[in-house]
Structure 1
């Protein structure tokens, strides 16, 4: 197949996406596919006649896949373009995507997962992996997805939202500690645990640097798990632990003391099955399809759905590839299975 792997973009998770994109590209090329690796924001400043030559089976260089822990702001990302433009797609991006049989969405974060790219592709009849524009938008917005969880009787942490940092503890229907995060965002950028009211305004203000609205959640002190779903099949659960602090951006993408347990033996089998079923129920509630990942917390043997990821990370340290490996699925096979699953979904429509 001719495949475009679309990565980079203009979200705070740009560097994560670039790392995922190179790994996905090489995996699909190793399977014999002709793959073009494209940065959706910077685009391709080459003559249109040369675009076809970018579909190749030659491996990309993976020697520089270390992800910077720098938080990329909109200003820093826009400065990467030399012409001063800030459009969603760079030069020739749509043209080369139209040349492909399907686009593998290696984007992460706001403009990769919020449905904008998916909506454009739907208009231009471009096939792509992952969920559609509506499900992507709902899942990306943590407040909206929380409301769907509640309406679908999926247990989740208590929450509220704010568009201002001028907020008092009395405005919040639960106590400290609590978690604040941008309503639209990922990779824990702008996310904080607030211990008491003295930190409230400062931490909310930081979350609002990355989105116009911030979500506040009750802090659930429990075990953290993640369950990926591919083609309707839940993979083995991963448990995430850290020696110090919590599972923030640094722990997710920089080599450190994080330990990923694949279905820990002390996890009750019934609880594991319940978690996998909740992942499937979350997919159905949000209208997700093809693949994704659902994050959970477990306290006193009660499982809480925290959020869903429609385009989960595929970096060397990401959770989904580890789950697939535990199920006997190699990285390359996982990428190809995602492609095959979405092709099947398109065929059924």
Structure 2
């Protein structure tokens, strides 16, 4: 097939997207596909034309555009298949304040949180105790996220988010091991336990710098925790109306698992979590790419 590999974009996660696209391009070529790389930031006006000239579109975008559902909506409009979730599910997962409401409606436990738009009063204080994580409502990769330990640190943390052009989500800063669990099709993949080697949480450097974090897969946790991670990840996937694949992040507290967020276009760099989890399930990187395309073609009514 002729595959349009879409990467780049103009979000703050552009570099991560381009990095992952390098090995995706190699995998697609290894699978026998004719690959056309399309940087959405440089060629957005020609996106529909480029997609219409291809048989399948492989999206490797992070943040907005990409995880916001915009490219997916355009592709649906012209009838071109792609991997992963459609426009609605993509946007609901990207918007943390929206996804947390759907988690609650589905009975899924998430840390206490507050939403603060950019024009909110600057003297706002959450009604749950410190510490707090302050993060962009639509952001990812832990960019512009701050761990706030004292109330006087809150204004600077909020300003960091607002200056990036986003609204803020303030989340209860719970302690415990960080875990992630991916869904592929209708199956939960082996979960991963994450131990950053520096810093207080799984920040940008821990995620993308080689050897900056221990990522143990399958996670060395009790069988009951492994079962719960898979079950909750599948439930979150369903609650948000997602397709194909996703990856949900958790904190394991003394009172149990707390669901943080769900990613619809997980990272695909050499250090990313989804490929590592897939390997533990017996799937090479090429196998993973082939499976994602198979799911996308099945979901959108076109087969090779």
Same fold (TM over 0.5): yes
Task: Tell me the secondary structure at the aligned position of residue 336 of structure 1.
Answer: helix
Counting only pairs closer than 5 Å after superposition, residues 103-114 of structure 1 correspond to structure 2 as: 103-114=57-68
Instruction: Give the match's secondary structure for 2:300.
Output: helix
**TM-score (norm: length of structure 2):** 0.95
In the alignment, which residue of structure 1 is the partner of 2:210? 255
Does 2:144 match 1:212?
Answer: no
The structure with the largest alpha-carbon Rg is: 1
Distance change >3 Å, CA 220–CA 270, structure 1 → 2: same
Using CA pairs under 8 Å that are at least 6 residues apart, name the structure with larger relative contact order, 1 or 2.
2
- Do the aligned partners of 2:131 and 2:149 also contact (CA within 8 Å) in 1? yes
Q: Which runs of 5+ in 2 are unaligned?
A: none
Aligned to 1:26: 26
Q: Specify which of 264, 269, 287 is matched with residue 219 of structure 2.
A: 264
Q: Distance in 2 between matches of 1:210 and 1:253?
A: 21
Q: Which one of 205, 230, 235 corresponds to residue 184 of structure 2?
A: 230
DSSP-derived class of the 2:301 partner:
helix
1:198: how far off? Answer: 1.4
Take 2:254 and 2:178, find their aligned partners in 1: how far apart are those partners? 12
CA deviations over 1:143-183 (Å, ceiling 9, x no partner): 000111111110000000112474336x3110111001010
SS at the partner of 1:321? Answer: helix
Aligned pairs (5 A) from 1:1-349? 1-43=1-43, 89-90=44-45, 92-164=46-118, 166-168=121-123, 171-245=125-199, 246-265=201-220, 267-300=221-254, 302-347=256-301
Give the Cα separation in 1 of the matches to 2:116 and 2:257. 26
Aligned residue in 2 for 1:64:
none
Partners of 1:270 and 1:21 in 2: CA distance: 36
* Counterpart secondary structure, 1:185: coil
Deviations 1:88-120 (A, max 9, x none): x14x33212111111001111121101111112
Alpha-carbon deviation of 1:301? Answer: 5.6
Secondary structure at the counterpart of residue 113 of structure 1: coil
Would you say the 8 A contact 1:185–1:210 is kept in 2?
no
Does structure 2 conserve the Cα–Cα contact (< 8 Å) formed by 1:324 and 1:330? yes
Is the Cα contact below 8 Å between 1:22 and 1:37 reproduced in 2? no
Q: Any idea what SS the aligned residue of 2:193 has?
A: strand
- Provide the C-alpha distance between the structure 1 equivalents of 2:164 and 2:180, rounded to a whole number of angstroms: 24
- CA 1:264–1:128 in structure 2 vs 1: closer, same or farther (change >3 Å)? closer
Offset of 1:257 from its aligned partner? 3.0
The answer as to whether partners of 1:166 and 1:201 remain within 8 angstroms in 2 is: no
Question: Aligned equivalents of 2:10 and 2:158: distance in 1?
Answer: 23
Contact 1:271 1:301 (8 Å CA) reproduced: no
Taking only aligned residues, the RMSD between alpha carbons, in angstroms, comes to 1.6
CA distance, structure 2, for counterparts of residue 167 and residue 157 of structure 1: 23
Matched-pair contact (CA < 8 Å) for 1:296–1:304: yes
